[in-house]
Structure 1
Amino acid sequence: MISIDVNSTAKIMEATYRAFSWSDYILFVAMLVLSILVGIYFGFFKKQDTSDKYLFGGKQMGFFPVALSLAASHLSGITLLGVPAEVYYYGCSYWATSICIIIVCLFTIHIFLPVLFKSNVTSSFEYLQLRFDKKIRYVTSTLFIAKNLAYLPIIIYIPALAFSQVTGISVHLVTPIVCFVCIFYTSVGGFKAVVWTDTFQFAITVFTVIAIVVLGFIYTGGVANVWNRNEIGGRLDFFNFDPSLVTRTTFWGYTIGLTMSWISELGVNQGMVQKYLSIPNISQIKKCLILFVAVFSGIKMLNVTTGLIMYAKYQYCDPLTSKVIQKPDQILPYFVMDIAGNIPGLPGLFIAAVFSTALSTMSAVLNTLSGTIYDDAIKPFLSKEKKTERNASYIMKICTLIIGFISVSLVLVVEKLGGILPLVMGITGCFAGTNCGLFILATCVPWANSKGALVGSFASLISAVSVMIGARYHIAYGNIQYPKLPLLTMGCLENSTIPFDQFNYTFPTTFDRRPIINEDEVFVLFRMSYIFYTCFGTVVQIVVGLVVSWITGFNDLKEVNPDLISPVMHWVLPKQPVSEKEKEQYKSVEESLEMLKKQQEAEA
């Protein structure tokens, strides 16, 4: 029988700070030093002095490190801290992301990769220029830059929050130091430094998460106890098939809403495309994606499991309600210090893992943003004499420094905002809907023209941002409330050792997961769950794009380059006439086959 043994708030926090020992600081600092050394190696011994090396690693990267780099750069601290907290407070619907990542992988392999390779581009924005025009390229690249400038401070803030939680050191002190490390090895070492630091940082993350899960099961009495307590507390909503668009998270929300968002983020996002193009051929890219899906799904499931373990641990003594922690996203650092604070090195390893995921994401974004800013905002204005490979590499390094400085400054804004996971998904969802709809329009709708794509992009972005702002306004003023699942504090007594089964509390048999909405005040679109923002933006982009294309005149399908259209949609295109060169090639092949046949007959 497992009993609760929780001290008062002040004593817990005091013990938490003491638990972060010199061995923990050594492990944390070692991770930062190793990252710097990787940057120095690729910056000074394997010089990245051309734009091709700086952005693509010479296009000779192996699929294994790139797959781990993809997984590391898309985990970030949001997954390590946000997902367990989401499961703890709202249930485990998030497990369905394992389904949507498979859908995204298939979509990418069969829809987008063939087009990107056949069109021989170096960026997703360049493809949009070929498919539509320059206006679309610059609009999408501008949106990409704006989205990532908004996203980077959140990436930085999350691990800084965790570090502050377990050490008591101010967020504002640790943020500049760690960000300097990331900016240094990214700007100096380029793409190869990013990939290889991602690889070893990801190894730290996986080891740490597995250690936390194993210790968590031991501390809470095993898998059966964790399952039973979460079932009683209503956390095991694996198949919540509620079709409502206002319910915060459901099976459909993740498998449909999040799939659309991840098509944008993992399929055609420039950061992903850059890594795809660093691999020499498409067969290796497919292997990379398959490995990425397996690793990514595995770490997501471990994060969901961590959330369930935390609930089993704090079922009758919620740290947030009892004011032991101040923010929902602090619960995992608190949990780690609670169960492993007396194990030398493990708290430090945990913080190193949180920072590793953040550094992986930040370095990937910095590298991609610097290349995008150079290609689309600086290069067009340079004279021919200044468009050298060496100048390009130098300018991108300067861009990395500037972007990093801006991101660190914006952390002051992020810390004033609410829950991390909804905030991030809301921001990225607005931009992702436009991006996802635009690429579907480009690759799968050959009759859509540039005017439709441009007007659709603005309509999609404006409508999605309006919905998000409206929803956040009503949430702030209490017109929309998302109640958490039952959280209790009856076990938070001084030196309490009361067994779980002796608490006199009856959990409800059903749990209403729909929000409380003041329908007289809230416009119907503002009630929509944040997880559907991308779907909404995608639908607006495609519908408006098609309507405007129809009004202004659909593309003549005879003039559409089939290499710019996904192979799955080639059936709608007219058959291309065979050129004289192709006829000669066919004739030569037929003659060779005929000669081979005669030779085989003579030998027989």
Structure 2
Amino acid sequence: MGDYSIYTGVKKTFSIVDYACFGATLAVSTAIGIYYAIKDKQSIDSKNFLLGGRQMSIVPVSLSILVTSFSATTLLGMPAEVYTYNTMIWWMCLSASIGLVIAAIVFVPFFYNLNVTSIYEYLDMRFGRGIRVLGSILFLIKALTYMAFVLYVPSLALNAATDFSLWGSVIAVGTVVTFYTAIGGMKAVLWTDTFQAIIIIGGLTAALVQGLRVVGGLEVAWTVAEERSRIYFTDFNIDPSTRHSFWGFVLGGSILWVNLSTGQTQIQRTSSCSSVTKAKLAMLISAPFLAAIMSVCCLLGVAMFAFYKDCHPLKFNNLISRSDQILPLYIMDILGHLPGLPGIFISCLFSGSLSTLSSSLTALSAVVPRDLIQPFCCKRIGDKMLTILSKVIVVLSGITTVAFAFMVSRLGGILQATYTVASITSGPLFGLFILGMFFPRANKWGAWAGSLTSLGMMCWIGLGAFVTRASYVPPSSFITSGCNWNVTQSTLVDVSPATLGITTQFTSNVTGTDLNNTSIPSTVLSIYKMSYLWYLPTALLIEIVVGLLVSALTGCTKPEDVRPELICPLVDLLCPFLPQSWRERLRFHKTTKRPNETNGATDTNHHLVDEATTSFLRDRDLWENEFLPDTL
């Protein structure tokens, strides 16, 4: 074991074979994009570029949903969270599974049957063009901010742990993902995601198997972690200030994953399937695989802790300076003697980035032209020009992401604030859809007031928590007595927020000793101490309450005046055991002749109702056939 970094004080570096493996991953992704660009060179259909012609099979869509559900920050953050704190983060598997199932049953069929390319078209149908623009702008801010974070942070962690070129990896990954997304469209993205899913599974498996072999097996690693208080699942505190608790994950975390699974990136993928049944199955199938990958990440954290149990490398001998750099260092330690395997694992990390970036780029290529350009200045734009415009948006978004990554690198400790801003926008944005789908009496004024109030409150809470560090929880203690190089030995290490890196977003309430005395002033507002898991539920609650109150004050929308396909049939989903006649009385989307209907024909001048929507109107039992089992 003498050649490990914790005994030599020297980091291992990439071999030529490792660079070749990393380069091969980028080359294959590029080749897939070129293949579909050549194959579809005669196609000018924008839906072919943005939705794969709605003819994609379940396998690539399901694997794309899987790898889009996490990024390299997740692959880095979850093992580091277990290593730094404990295994409470493992409950995230339950949150993700619940969220994906709800999304598949409720939201996927809803948007699929509307046959929209951008989900923000729904906001126009329900609340008007202004709300559509507001939602699109919020998504644009969130997507560009998060893409810069996803592109830069893994590259930074990798550079610090392995001396892999920081800006070389940023520019290479940014260029490749922009290129194959722009020329190949949705088909290229789905099949590159499929390839990247294989790389991710292979890389994680190799790391886990070798990591457990080095420490003597799973039982030994688990015992060591349990003895040092890293195995912990039983925090059932309902207090919202508890960073990680069972109820925080089951309630707050599940809502968070419903939001993640129903955004433009995921709905655009499910909409590429050839039927609504396949769309639902694609998301349902991805749920157990996502839970399995998260479990492997947590097990990696256990094995990693057992490996470094007596010599925590953070802040010692300049090995690493942040906790999110521990995993790359660990991979180089346990796999560095096997040429090619470190390269495969690093390809695994960047495959997570590629899939997330390509998903966001395709989403932006649908949202920006259709929601922010076409309605205002290019209403009569042809389908060919719309396709070209979408490709141009991909290129511009890719360039902007690399530029944002450079800006982020200059902000230092603001990295956490960047991620916080991206998270804060999700609540008000998701709340607009909840208000429209489940509350037929809500009107556009309620939507405006609710979303802006929710956004303002969450900005105040999130930024206030960041500035005051009210939600900071010091990590558990570490031992360094086993380190053999010449450093000052101590039992515990520096646990200031600067050492935590991105994992401050994944903290727990099991505390260790804080050597820097980073105590929270008693004057800090209690709301700043709220766990990030409760941010989204809080934002939704504010938006719904304010939205319904303002709607009532300004004149509620009459349920019978709302087009039936714009309201989710929640009664059918929650109460399938009730007789059909009872459910019809409880539904908001009753068969009522509206002022804009003449002789049963729906007025399509105000809102375009396509074939799928018209079919929906003709067959009011479609939801029952899709969702509900046969009942007596």
Q: TM-score range by the shorter chain?
A: 0.7 to 0.9
1:367 maps to 2:388 = no
Structure-2 change in CA distance of 1:170 and 1:81 (3 Å): same
Q: Which residue of 1 aligns with 2:557?
A: 555
Q: CA–CA distance in 2 between the matches of 1:9 and 1:215?
A: 18
Q: CA–CA distance in 1 between the matches of 2:335 and 2:377?
A: 56
Q: CA–CA distance in 2 between the matches of 1:364 and 1:470?
A: 31
Higher CA-based Rg: 1
**With structure 1 as the length reference, what TM-score do the two structures score?**
0.87
Q: Which residue of 1 aligns with 2:375?
A: 380
Pick aligned residue for 1:121 from 116, 119, 132: 116
1:468 maps to 2:454 = no
Deviation at 1:112, TM superposition (A): 1.8
Counterpart of 1:483, as a letter, is: P
Structure-2 change in CA distance of 1:162 and 1:574 (3 Å): closer
Pick aligned residue for 1:486 from 477, 480, 483: 477
Q: Which residue of 2 aligns with 1:64?
A: 59
Contact kept in structure 2, 1:101 and 1:259, CA below 8 Å: yes
Q: Which residue of 1 aligns with 2:31?
A: 37
Question: Secondary structure of the equivalent of 1:482?
Answer: coil
Counterpart of 2:264, as a letter, is: Q
Question: Secondary structure of the equivalent of 1:88?
Answer: helix
Q: CA–CA distance in 1 between the matches of 2:248 and 2:379?
A: 50
Residues 69-84 of structure 1 aligned to structure 2 (within 5 Å) = 69-84=64-79
Q: CA–CA distance in 2 between the matches of 1:70 and 1:7?
A: 37
Larger relative contact order (C-alpha < 8 A, sep ≥ 6)? 1
After the TM superposition, which of the residue ranges 394-403 and 406-415 deviates more from structure 2?
Answer: 406-415
Structure-2 change in CA distance of 1:223 and 1:105 (3 Å): same
Q: CA–CA distance in 1 between the matches of 2:592 and 2:168?
A: 66
Q: CA–CA distance in 1 between the matches of 2:340 and 2:160?
A: 16
Structure-2 change in CA distance of 1:337 and 1:419 (3 Å): farther
Q: CA–CA distance in 1 between the matches of 2:212 and 2:331?
A: 13
Question: Secondary structure of the equivalent of 1:481?
Answer: coil
Q: Which residue of 1 aligns with 2:264?
A: 270
Q: CA–CA distance in 1 between the matches of 2:38 and 2:491?
A: 66
Contact kept in structure 1, 2:8 and 2:484, CA below 8 Å: no
Q: Which residue of 1 aligns with 2:281?
A: 287
Q: Which residue of 2 aligns with 1:458?
A: 452
Q: CA–CA distance in 1 between the matches of 2:5 and 2:121?
A: 59
Counterpart of 2:10, as a letter, is: M
Question: Secondary structure of the equivalent of 1:13?
Answer: coil
Contact kept in structure 2, 1:67 and 1:291, CA below 8 Å: yes
Q: CA–CA distance in 2 between the matches of 1:77 and 1:574?
A: 43
Deviations 1:466-497 (A, max 9, x none): 1111111112xxx653110111211112399x
Q: CA–CA distance in 1 between the matches of 2:181 and 2:7?
A: 41
**With structure 2 as the length reference, what TM-score do the two structures score?**
0.83
Q: CA–CA distance in 1 between the matches of 2:51 and 2:166?
A: 34
Deviation at 1:364, TM superposition (A): 1.1
Pick aligned residue for 1:564 from 558, 563, 566: 566
Structure-2 change in CA distance of 1:513 and 1:485 (3 Å): closer
Q: CA–CA distance in 2 between the matches of 1:511 and 1:105?
A: 29
Counterpart of 1:573, as a letter, is: F
Q: CA–CA distance in 2 between the matches of 1:118 and 1:199?
A: 26
Contact kept in structure 2, 1:7 and 1:493, CA below 8 Å: no
Structure-2 change in CA distance of 1:457 and 1:425 (3 Å): same
Contact kept in structure 1, 2:145 and 2:418, CA below 8 Å: no
Q: Report which of the two has the higher share of helix.
A: 1
Q: Which runs of 5+ in 1 are unaligned?
A: 497-502, 583-604
Structure-2 change in CA distance of 1:158 and 1:580 (3 Å): same
Residues 399-478 of structure 1 aligned to structure 2 (within 5 Å) = 399-415=393-409, 416-418=411-413, 426-475=420-469
Deviation at 1:167, TM superposition (A): 4.1
Counterpart of 1:306, as a letter, is: L
Q: Which residue of 2 aligns with 1:594?
A: none
State the percentage of identical aligned residues. 33
Contact kept in structure 2, 1:6 and 1:494, CA below 8 Å: no
Q: Which runs of 5+ in 2 are unaligned?
A: 493-508, 572-583, 602-632
Structure-2 change in CA distance of 1:417 and 1:82 (3 Å): farther
Q: Which residue of 1 aligns with 2:135?
A: 140
Contact kept in structure 2, 1:261 and 1:534, CA below 8 Å: yes
Contact kept in structure 2, 1:5 and 1:495, CA below 8 Å: no
Q: CA–CA distance in 1 between the matches of 2:471 and 2:252?
A: 20
Root mean square deviation of aligned Cα = 2.6
After the TM superposition, which of the residue ranges 84-93 and 59-68 deviates more from structure 2?
Answer: 84-93
Contact kept in structure 1, 2:161 and 2:320, CA below 8 Å: no
Counterpart of 1:453, as a letter, is: A
Pick aligned residue for 2:349 from 346, 354, 366: 354
Contact kept in structure 2, 1:318 and 1:489, CA below 8 Å: yes
Q: CA–CA distance in 1 between the matches of 2:388 and 2:294?
A: 38
